[in-house]
């Protein structure tokens, strides 16, 4: 009997660890990995509604970031500003529906909470040339002093809507709809070919 609730990565058919692309002095300067399994919850509500903002704080432990493009963190959870009145909560998998339920219980009717854990593919790039690879794809200001750790932006790479976050120095997470996951993986690894890149084991 096939367990239909088992989560299978959108990249499962093409994911291969190792070293690829050009042979460069000093070795590969971009490292790829898929971030999984994750709990990802889309959160919408009015930040000036106390029931909502208090509920979010109760559910995830941090205040709503209200500055466009900011990321708040609490332990292993990140709360990313997507748009006015919209955020994305991301953390290592807490079990089916657990993070969604935490938000729904705490926010009640004050927020619209949707579990999108199964609907996103998250690709992590790190290393000296990770920023350069993203510059090839998205029309954002990726200057080191502008796109800094704790910042995020929605944009497009190869015409696919993406959320790009910078969780740490020279480390970036690219979120796409699951159906675009394989295409985005192929686009990004192709763009990294000239620098040489490694593919690491998936991790959260």
Partner 1 sequence: MLTIKCPWCGDRDLTEFAAGGEGHIARPLEPATQSDAEWGDYIYTRKNTKGIHYERWMHAQGCRRWFNAVRDTVSDEFLAFYKTGEPAPKVEGDGS
> Any contact of residue 73 with partner 1 (CB under 8 A)?
no
Residue partners of 100: CB distance under 8 A and separation at least 6: 39, 41, 113, 114, 115
CA–CA distance, 139 with 124 (Å, rounded to integer): 19
Scanning 71-79, 91-99, 126-134, 154-162 for contacts with partner 1 by CB under 8 A, the matching segment is 154-162
Dump the DSSP string for 64-112. Answer: PP-STTBEEEETTEEEEEEETTEEEEEEE--STTHHHHHHHHHHGGGEE
In this complex, which beta carbon is closest to partner 1, that of residue 121 or of residue 198?
A: 121
Q: Which of 53, 78, 154, 198 binds partner 1 (CB under 8 A)?
A: 154
Dump the DSSP string for 127-166. Answer: STTHHHHHHHH--S---TTTS-TTEEEEEEETTEEEEEEE
State the number of CA atoms in the 13 A half-sphere of 47 facing the CB.
Answer: 12
Q: Which of 7, 161, 168, 193 binds partner 1 (CB under 8 A)?
A: 161
In this complex, which beta carbon is closest to partner 1, that of residue 31 or of residue 140?
A: 140
Q: Which of 155, 158, 171, 204 binds partner 1 (CB under 8 A)?
A: 155
Scanning 32-40, 78-86, 89-97, 179-187 for contacts with partner 1 by CB under 8 A, the matching segment is 78-86
> Any contact of residue 69 with partner 1 (CB under 8 A)?
yes
In this complex, which beta carbon is closest to partner 1, that of residue 52 or of residue 87?
A: 87
Show contacts with partner 1 in window 91-150 (CB under 8 A). Answer: 139-141
CA–CA distance, 191 with 23 (Å, rounded to integer): 15
> Any contact of residue 48 with partner 1 (CB under 8 A)?
no
> Any contact of residue 191 with partner 1 (CB under 8 A)?
no
Residues at the contact surface with partner 1, assessed by CB under 8 A: 68-69, 82-84, 86, 139-141, 153-156, 161
């Amino acid at each position: 009997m096939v367990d239909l609730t088992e989560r299978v990565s959108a990249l499962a058919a093409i994911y291969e660890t190792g070293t690829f692309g050009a042979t460069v002095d000093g070795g590969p300067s971009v490292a790829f990995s898929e971030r999984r399994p994750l709990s990802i919850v889309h959160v919408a509500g009015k930040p000036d509604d106390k029931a909502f903002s208090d509920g979010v704080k109760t559910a995830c432990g941090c205040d709503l970031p209200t500055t466009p493009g900011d990321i708040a963190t609490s332990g292993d959870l990140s709360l990313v500003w997507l748009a006015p009145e919209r955020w994305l909560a991301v953390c290592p998998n807490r079990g089916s529906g657990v993070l969604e339920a935490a938000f729904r219980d705490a926010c009640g009717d004050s927020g619209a909470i949707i579990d999108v854990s199964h609907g996103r593919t998250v690709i992590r790039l790190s290393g000296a040339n990770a920023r350069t690879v993203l510059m090839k794809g998205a029309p954002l200001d990726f200057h080191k002093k502008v796109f800094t750790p704790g910042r995020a932006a929605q944009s497009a790479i190869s015409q696919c809507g993406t959320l790009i976050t910078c969780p740490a120095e020279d480390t970036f997470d690219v979120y796409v709809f699951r159906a675009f996951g394989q295409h985005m993986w192929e686009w990004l690894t192709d763009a990294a070919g000239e620098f040489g890149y490694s593919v690491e084991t998936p991790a959260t």
